[in-house]
Amino acid sequence: MNVPIELKSPTVLDACEADRTACHPTERALSRFAANEMGTRRKKVVAQHLETCEDCRKVVARHHAIARTFRDWERSGILQAAQYERAAGRI
């Protein structure tokens, strides 16, 4: 069974073209980076890529915004109310 590679190795990223268009981390890797769920070595590779890639920075910013929205909902009680409604069969 072939498992997709999440992130190209640092060696491959270093060997990329100057504009690095062919060496983007996967969406999953960017999500894990945004959630701080990545090891130090991979995090460093992604951070270096983000320095030169506006498209990937936008993806990470989107993930941060989504996480912030959920935290705000959680703090305000919206998520708890929705869970109660679902449990009560109202949704």
pLDDT in tens, 24-82: 899 999 999 999 999 999 999 999 999 999 999 999 999 999 999 888 887 777 767 77
Q: In terms of residues, how long is the chain?
A: 91
Domain 10-87 belongs to what topology? Arc Repressor Mutant, subunit A (1.10.10)
Contact 46, 28 (CB under 8 A): no
Distance of CA 41 to CAs 44, 47, 76, 77, Å? 5, 10, 36, 37
Q: What is the domain partition of the chain in residue ranges?
A: 10-87
**Tokens 């130090």 label which residue?**
40
Contact 53, 30 (CB under 8 A): no
- The reply to whether the predicted model has a pTM over 0.85 is no
Q: Is the Cα dihedral 25, 27, 28, 31 positive or negative?
A: positive
